[in-house]
């Protein structure tokens, strides 16, 4: 290796470290364990656009969902996916009927003691698509703790085809890839630097 090239090596080191740090950050961001667990209290707004905002929400087991009207009255809440006008009785929406949810500022609360997916809709605006799903459970999206394939992903650069069976988001695996790439680059740079930098040259005996 030419000396000129060797001189440039140290300048690449921060880049390699930055890549590794970025990867580590992505791993943390994408790790389901570090991802925010569902809240015990969630508020869903019934808006002037006749939409639930957010329509889909996650709440912890035993948590409470508050439906609040911010516009476009009226928004009575009914349990069900909207296929039947009368809904189903999967959760108790008796406090969220026409009487209670008739003007801006009105709100009602529903407690969800059991895990599951609970579709709901607005009795008045269901035909406009005013419906959503409340997911109840302690873990967000039912992520698994499978660790298979982790070792293999450390060496590979990020790939769009993240292991689909892992239950972890692609960003997590991309993070591992970036981290490995950066760390590898840093190691190679340090090795080259030590090997070729004149100040580090070993005394020849």
Q: Which is nearer to Cu ion, 46 or 137 (CB)?
A: 46
Q: Which is nearer to Cu ion, 75 or 168 (CB)?
A: 75
CB of 132 to Cu ion, least distance (A): 12
In the block, which residue shows the tokens 């703790």? Answer: 145
CB of 126 to Cu ion, least distance (A): 8
Q: Which is nearer to Cu ion, 44 or 130 (CB)?
A: 130
Q: How far apart are CA 9 and CA 197, in angstroms?
A: 9
What are the φ/ψ torsions at residue 170 (nearest 5 degrees)? -60, -35
Are the CB atoms for 143 and 2 separated by under 8 Å?
no
* Strands 52-53, 39-46: pairing kind: antiparallel
CB of 16 to Cu ion, least distance (A): 55
The helix (H) or strand (E) run that includes residue 200 is: none
Q: How far apart are CA 121 and CA 202, in angstroms?
A: 75
Q: Tell me if residue 172 falls in helix, strand or coil.
A: helix
Please give the residue ranges that form the binding site for Cu ion (CB under 5 A).
75, 122, 124-125, 130
Residue 36: DSSP 8-state: P
CB of 73 to Cu ion, least distance (A): 8
Q: Which is nearer to Cu ion, 68 or 75 (CB)?
A: 75
């Amino acid at each position: 290796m030419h000396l000129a090239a060797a001189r440039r090596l140290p300048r690449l080191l921060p880049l390699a470290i930055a890549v590794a740090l970025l990867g580590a950050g992505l791993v943390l961001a994408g790790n389901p364990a570090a991802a925010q667990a569902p809240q015990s209290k969630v508020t869903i707004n019934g808006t002037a656009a006749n939409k639930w905002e957010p329509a889909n929400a996650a709440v912890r087991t035993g948590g409470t969902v508050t439906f609040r009207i911010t516009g476009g009255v009226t928004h009575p809440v009914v349990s069900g996916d909207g296929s039947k006008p009368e809904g189903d009785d999967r959760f108790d929406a008796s406090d969220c009927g026409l009487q209670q949810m008739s003007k801006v500022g009105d709100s009602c609360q529903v407690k969800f003691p059991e895990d599951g997916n609970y579709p709901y809709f607005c009795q008045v605006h269901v035909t406009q698509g005013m419906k959503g799903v409340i997911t109840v459970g302690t873990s967000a999206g039912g992520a698994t703790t499978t660790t298979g394939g982790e070792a293999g992903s450390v060496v590979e650069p990020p790939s769009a085809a993240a292991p689909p069976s892992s239950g972890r988001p692609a960003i997590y695996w991309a993070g591992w890839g970036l981290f490995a790439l950066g760390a590898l680059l840093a190691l190679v740079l340090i090795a080259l630097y030590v090997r070729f930098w004149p100040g580090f040259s070993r005394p020849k005996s």
